[in-house]
Structures are given as structure tokens and as C-alpha cells.
Structure 1
Amino acid sequence: MATMTELSPTVEKSKFSQNTQVDENLVPKKVPSFCSTRYGLALITHLCNFMVMTQYVAINITMVAMVNGTNHQSRFNGSTEMLPIDSFSGSNDVPKSLSAEGSIFGGQFALWEKWGPPHERSRLCTITIAGMPLGAFAIILLGGIISQSLGWPFVFYVFGGIGCIYCLLWFALVYDNPIFHPWINVTEKEYIVASLAHQVIPQKQPLPIKAMLRSLPLWSIGVCNFSHQWLVTILIVYMPTYISSVFNINIRDNGFLSALPFIIAWVTSILTGQLADFLLTKNFRLVTVRKIATFLGNFPSSALLLVLPYLTPSYVTTMTLLMITCGLSPISQSGIYVNPLDIAPRHSSLLMGVSRELGCAAAIAAPTVSGLLLSQDPVFGWRNVFLLLFAINLSGLIFYLVFGDASIQDWAKERKLTRL
């Protein structure tokens, strides 16, 4: 039985109070909630991001075997095998996979332009993005095991095959607009359409490129996305290396230890969207919610990594700090990652695609720069890596806190075309 959600006029008014005018009489009072088509769509896009992350991280996982030899059946031995630190910057496949990731994110946000009621966007988008830490958990945990037992090519065969099967699910169930979905509940369709009525654009208008380039709120999202992705990349790429270098743990055990924090991140990713939408019902300003989420997802995580090399090496302390870091980082998903839908719902897919491409630039630069720091200074290398991460992360965060906004920008509003 579908769960029903009550939407009182008071709550509706508080949620839509900022730059949103919706006729409350047009919004159904009771609509399906979790057992609904829009949440089913969120689950499907969740799985999409799961597959994207497994393909991305698989490159880093299998590089150890690739560097050790070209034999497809080469195995890891029982001891810790470390990948040369500067090898991450040598893969030509990483930029290609990251560029594809940015395109996928832009396409997903195009769906939420038509499917996501404004007061549910935080939870729907975070459910979607939560597939990424779950994918990281799965590939880090299983990648080494598959490489050991079957050979490194089978990592791509297994997860690539799952991705091909998933595509059939996508083609059958995903529709651009709830109006055209053949199985959606009529009440839910009316609810989504009424909630998004203020965003209906009767005619296409030219993209305001100059105004967008001058928009500080837009730049703040991109800059902060870059700095946060730098943090995420270090966690994904270098966490196994850091654990191995400090505790000399064999690669099978390291896979489990490295993957453990990402299951915490998956849980946090889902809960943070629920919390953000809850705060909106308590009359918090939308921009305040976005900035709180972005701060909590950036500053504590980078600060904990900064102090990590200065602590006495302790297995319990290190794993605790890494799990807290991974658990806090996804809170930003209810901030900068959803923010494009706030400032420019008409162009959110484009903005999210561009923003993710800036994040992809960080995902390429972070391993390259960090690899150089570690190779040039084996003694203080980790301190330098985490210090640089903190400086970049803090700079992007401050820029967003100063210039970030959550109101629809003038250049994103409908313009009436007149003839002279």
C-alpha cells in the first residue's frame, strides 16, 4: 500500500515562500510518497550512479594488477602491493570516464526539472547521488577479490555486464516527463504538475550565456563543487594507499577496511536529503539550508584529514576519523549539488553538467598533484597532501558561503519577448 503524505497549507506556504508562487488549491492534499513513481525514478537513477562509480573506481582498483604485468591471470600476492604513487596520473581512460560522469549528472537533473516538486528535491536528488558512495563501497570491497580469483579484466566484465542489464531497466521505466509516463498514479501526476506549475515555460528562449558568466552564485556552485570533489577524490583514490602505507595491511583486508567508510557515506547521503527537506518545513530559509549542508559536508571532513598525519598512528583512531570524514562529506549533496535547481530550474541540467565537469577537473588534478607530493617527499608527503586538500576545500567553501544563493536568478526567469 502506498504511503500517503499530508501537505497542509501552512507547510506548503513555508516551503514555497521563496520565489515561488503556487496555487495551494491546485496541489492535491494526499499523494503517494515512498511507494510512488517519482521515488521509483530516484531508485533507478541511484542505481545509475552506482554503476558510474564502479566503472570509475575500477580503473584505480585494477591499476595495481595492470602495472604488475600484462598477464590477465596475474594475482596479488599475500603481502601489500603498492601502486607507484604517480601512476594515477598516467591513465588516459580516467578523463574519459569522468567526462561521461558529468554528462550523466546533467541528464539526471534534466529529469528532476520535470519530476521533482521543489520541497522534495533535496531528498530525491540525494537518493539519486547516494548511488555513488554505494558504488565505491561495492567496487573497493569486491574489486580486489575478483582480481585475485579471476584476474583484473573480470572486474570490468562483471560490473560492465551488470551495467548492460541495467540499461534495459532504464529504457523501459524512465520517461522525461510524468505526463507521458504510462503507469504513474493520476493523483501523483497532478501533484507533480501542480507543484511545478510556476516553472512552465511556454516558449524556448535563448541561453543567457553572458549573464550566466557574470553570475557569482553560479560560479560559487562550480568553485565549491571543484573543491569538494578534490576531497572526495582523495578519499576514493588514496584511502587504500594511506591505510596500506601506515598499517602494512595486505590488499584483501585493505579492500574491506577501505570500503567500510563508504557504506557510512551511503547512509548519510540518504538521510541528509530528508533532513534538508525537514528543515524547510520548519521555516528555515532555503539558502540557509543549502549553506549549512555545504559547510557540514566540507569543513569538518577536510579538517579531520588535516590532523590525521599529526596523530600517533593508531588503527582504531585512523579508521574512526576516516569513517567520520566519509560520513560527513555527503551532506554537501543537499547543498551545492541541488543548488542549480534553485537558482535556475530551467537550465539546471546544463548547470549541473558544467558544475560536474569542474568537479571532474578536480578528480583529474587531485591524484596528479597528490602523487607528485608523495613521490617527492616520502616523509611529509601525506601532510602536504592533506594540507593542500584543506586549503582548496576551505577556499571553495568560503567562496560559496559569501556568494551562494538559492533564489531564481534574473537571467533564469521567463522573459517576455517584444517587438519594437
Structure 2
Amino acid sequence: MDEKPSARRGPDICSLRYGLAVVMHLSNLSMITQRVSLSIAIIAMVNGTQQPAPANASADGPLQDPSGPIGEFHAGTSVYAWSPETQGILFSSISYGILLTLIPSGYLAGIFGAKHMLGAGLLGSSLLSLCTPLAADLGVSLVMVIRVAQGMAQGMAWTGQFTIWAKWAPPLERSKLTSIAGSGAALGSSLILCVGGLISQALGWPFIFYIFGGGNGRGRCLRLVQEGAVLRCLQRVTDGRRYWREPTSPRRSVPLKAMARCLPLWAIFSGFFSHFWLCTVIVTYLPTYISSVLHVSIRESGVLSALPFVAASTCTVLGGQLADFLLSRDLLRLLTVRKLFSALGLLLPSLCAVALPFVASSYVTTVVLLILIPGTSNLCDSGFIINTLDIAPRYASFLMGISRGFGLLAGIISSTATGFLISQDSASGWRHVFFLAAAVNLFGLVFYLTFGRAELQDWAKERPLTRL
């Protein structure tokens, strides 16, 4: 006999997966606002309109002028004598922290689950953001320690997400789901850069850390509840409608030797290194570049700095939709799609970066190129960024930790190198920064196009246990 359809229909699995992507989107938005807070606040923290520091003044302590307004910034806020080299080290400090926790947190997330690691990372990052203004008054060394600890918290949260996608993202929806989640970082960057200058002018730069640290901490509980509900419903739907893969033993060994010999894996690592090199320069130094080259106020600098990340968020989502469309219609092979979007995401921003120093006199052209760099760069999200899900889904979280480790290593080097180069000479320094970033991008692109693959690797295969 034909069974009658049930009157009560369960939750739609597709909508639940997209609901989970939105939760991840908000989590990424929270973390990036806390990470980029220093990039916009530092314009006021080391305001160039201040008098030079006395010869015997310490670079660790604040220079306060409570008697009058500080240029265009809020009166009574501290100003610090931090050199460009010191600023570069501060910017890269958070990458050191993320680098310390990416690999172990990726492995542990695969064992214990991602929800608790994601929540703990968000809470820790929020609390440390609230402590940053006090740490700045106590000394630049303490700010570095705070940033490293904040990076460790964010490293736990970043990698925890990939464990979820390794289990719940179908092959033909991976680009869509991960691009929706990843676009939160670009949208968060645009948000903090847009309103950060206004907050600094109206309330003082410490409130940038207070607002985004405190607000994101309060929103953490809601996101955890939402994520838990989505995962429970998603498991119930898959248990009732289709085969569901049981998790393998949490104490399975990781084939490190096979991974080390795998050229397709090294191609992904090289892509991450190249991509994060230029992205870190843009995310970290964009407000400084706009303020120093275009000579605009902090309010205009914040708004202009936000525009590239609005474009980046849009391109991330559209790129994911286009990639999955090409795959679902069998227009291109999976490997072709991954290499195509990787090439676009590495080559196009390189060309824009090389052109920037030659159009510095044109306000409009400079702004257009600055918008195109993050926008086109985020096309990589449908390329090598999610390639580990193709070649080794079993170890996706662990490998994402290693991949981001290579990216963060590039971020550390590029932030420090940028601070050093622009301290020598501002005009030629920026030119060298962008030329170097383009060269690194081209190297990563050639390596990935040569050795990149999209088929499941032998060392990543397993026999799934299934049930109806």
C-alpha cells in the first residue's frame, strides 16, 4: 500500500543549512569587528596632529592633553608615541595568537564538536577587546599580550566552524554555504570601518573597543542557542529522510606523513599564504593608507575604508552562487571551478594593487581600485579556500587549521614588513608594499594551478558507517 504523506512536515533541511550559515555569518562578523577595531582606532591613538613626544618620553605610555580637543578627535582621550614599526607589530600580534591555536583547535573541534569551541572563542575575544583601552594606558607591551590572547580565542572560533561544514555541507552547496558564512568577515570589516571613525569623534577611541567588545559578548549566547537548535533539527531531518554518516572514532590517527607528501595539499597552503598576504595588508593598513595618501578626515577615512569590504561581502556570496551554479549545471568540472575562482581571486587584486601607486593623484581611481582589491580577492572563497573539503573532508577541520596557519604566517610577515617599508619612505614604501604583495600572489597562483586537485585523496578515504 502507498503510504499517505504525514500531515506534519519536519523542518526543511535546506533552510536549516542556510540558517546555520547565517549563524556562522554573524559569528565571523563579530570576530572581525574586534580584530579590525585597532586598525581604525589607531588613527586617533597616534594622531599626527599632536605635538611630537619629548625625547625622554616612553613609547609605552600615553600622552594626554585633557585641557583641549585633540585635533578632530574626542577630547581627553590618550595619544601614544607609537612608531610605524610598533604599529606593524601590534597589528600582527593577533595573528601570532591565532597561529598558536589553529592547528590544535582544528583537531580538537573534530573530536569534541565545534559549538563549545566557537562559543568560548567568541566570549574570550569579546572580553579581551574590552580590556584593550586599559592595556594601552599601561604600556604597548601589554597591548601586544592582549592581542595575542585575543588571537588565540579567535583561532578556536575560526576553525570550529569548518568541522560543521565538513559534516553538513553537500558537495553542490559547499561554495554557497561557506561563502554566506565567510561574507560575515567582509561585512564586519565594513561595519567597523564605517562607524569606527564616528564613534572615535563622538565618544573617543576607547568606545570602539567597548561597543564592539561588549555588544558581541552579549550576542554570543543567542548565537549559541541558534546554532544548537539548527544542528539538532538538521540531525533529526537527516536521520528521518536519508542516510547519515556516523562519526568515526575520535581517536583516529592523522596521516601526517601522507599529508606532508601531498602536493595538492601544499598547493592549497600556498594559496592561503598568498591570499592572506595581500588581504592582511588591506584589512590592517587600509585606514592608514587612505588617511595618509588621500589626506581625508577620520570620518571620511572610515566610510571610504568600509566600501571595499561591502564589495568583498557581495562578491563572496555571488562568487559562491556562481560556482555552485556552474557545478550543478555540469558546465565545468569541479577542479576547473576551483582553479578558475582561485585565478580570479589572486590575479585581479594583484593587478589593482600594482596600479595603485601610479594613480595616487586621482582620488576616484584610487578609491575604485581599493574597492576592487578586497572584492575580487574574496573570489578565492570558492577556490582553494574550500578545496580541503574536496580532497580530504575527513580531516577538513584539521587541515583548515594548518591552511589558516600558513595564511596567518603570511599576515605576520606582511604586517611587519609593511610597517618597516612605510617607515623608510611613505611614497616609495607603499609602492614596494603593493609590488611585493602582487609578486607573492602570482607565486601562489602558479603553484596552485600546477599542483591543485579536487578529487578525494587516497590517504583521506574511509569506510562510512551508515544507517537508515
TM-score (normalizing by structure 2): 0.75
Q: How big is the shift at 1:83?
A: 7.5
Q: How big is the shift at 1:66?
A: 3.4
Matched-pair contact (CA < 8 Å) for 1:102–1:357 = no
1:282-301 matched pairs, under 5 angstroms: 282-283=329-330, 284-301=332-349
Which one of 366, 369, 388 corresponds to residue 414 of structure 2?
366
Change (3 A) 1:83 1:286: farther
1:14-413 matched pairs, under 5 angstroms: 32=12, 36-67=15-46, 69=62, 77-78=71-72, 84-91=83-90, 92=144, 93-175=146-228, 178=231, 181=232, 183-184=233-234, 187=237, 190=240, 194=243, 197=245, 201=248, 205-283=252-330, 284-311=332-359, 313-413=361-461
Q: Which amino acid aligns with 1:374?
A: I
Matched-pair contact (CA < 8 Å) for 1:50–1:132 = yes
Q: For residues 385 and 354 of structure 1, what CA distance do their matches in structure 2 show?
A: 26
Matched-pair contact (CA < 8 Å) for 1:75–1:148 = no
Give per-residue Cα distances to partners, 1:3-60, cap 9 Å, x unaligned.
xxxxxxxxxxxxxxxxxxxxxxxxxxx99476x1111110011000001100110122
Q: Which runs of 5+ in 1 are unaligned?
A: 1-29
Q: Which runs of 5+ in 2 are unaligned?
A: 1-9, 48-61, 74-78, 91-143
Matched-pair contact (CA < 8 Å) for 1:289–1:335 = yes
Change (3 A) 1:153 1:104: same
For the residue of structure 1 that corresponds to 2:277, the secondary structure is helix
Matched-pair contact (CA < 8 Å) for 2:43–2:298 = no
Q: Which amino acid aligns with 1:104?
A: A
Q: How big is the shift at 1:186?
A: 5.6
Q: How big is the shift at 1:294?
A: 0.9
Give per-residue Cα distances to partners, 1:46-99, cap 9 Å, x unaligned.
0000011001101222223334546598965239x9984323233224444444
For the residue of structure 2 that corresponds to 1:380, the secondary structure is helix
Q: For residues 117 and 414 of structure 1, what CA distance do their matches in structure 2 show?
A: 17
Matched-pair contact (CA < 8 Å) for 2:353–2:434 = yes
Aligned-residue Cα RMSD (Å) equals 2.8
Identity of paired residues, percent? 43
For the residue of structure 1 that corresponds to 2:296, the secondary structure is coil
For the residue of structure 2 that corresponds to 1:337, the secondary structure is helix
Give per-residue Cα distances to partners, 1:289-323, cap 9 Å, x unaligned.
11111111111101111011123611111111111
For the residue of structure 1 that corresponds to 2:384, the secondary structure is coil
Q: For residues 211 and 41 of structure 1, what CA distance do their matches in structure 2 show?
A: 33
Q: Which amino acid aligns with 1:287?
A: L
Q: How big is the shift at 1:353?
A: 1.4
For the residue of structure 2 that corresponds to 1:249, the secondary structure is coil
Q: For residues 362 and 72 of structure 1, what CA distance do their matches in structure 2 show?
A: 38
Change (3 A) 1:32 1:312: same
Change (3 A) 1:336 1:76: farther
Give per-residue Cα distances to partners, 1:91-122, cap 9 Å, x unaligned.
22444444443332221010112221121111
For the residue of structure 2 that corresponds to 1:130, the secondary structure is helix
Q: For residues 13 and 312 of structure 2, what CA distance do their matches in structure 1 show?
A: 24
TM-score (normalizing by structure 1): 0.83
Change (3 A) 1:90 1:343: same
Give per-residue Cα distances to partners, 1:200-224, cap 9 Å, x unaligned.
6478531111111111111111121
For the residue of structure 1 that corresponds to 2:455, the secondary structure is coil
Change (3 A) 1:288 1:102: farther
Length, aligned pairs only: 379
Matched-pair contact (CA < 8 Å) for 1:72–1:151 = no
Matched-pair contact (CA < 8 Å) for 1:94–1:364 = no
Matched-pair contact (CA < 8 Å) for 2:273–2:407 = yes
Matched-pair contact (CA < 8 Å) for 1:105–1:352 = no
Q: Which amino acid aligns with 1:249?
A: V
Matched-pair contact (CA < 8 Å) for 1:296–1:332 = yes
Stretch deviating more after TM superposition (201-210 or 301-310): 201-210
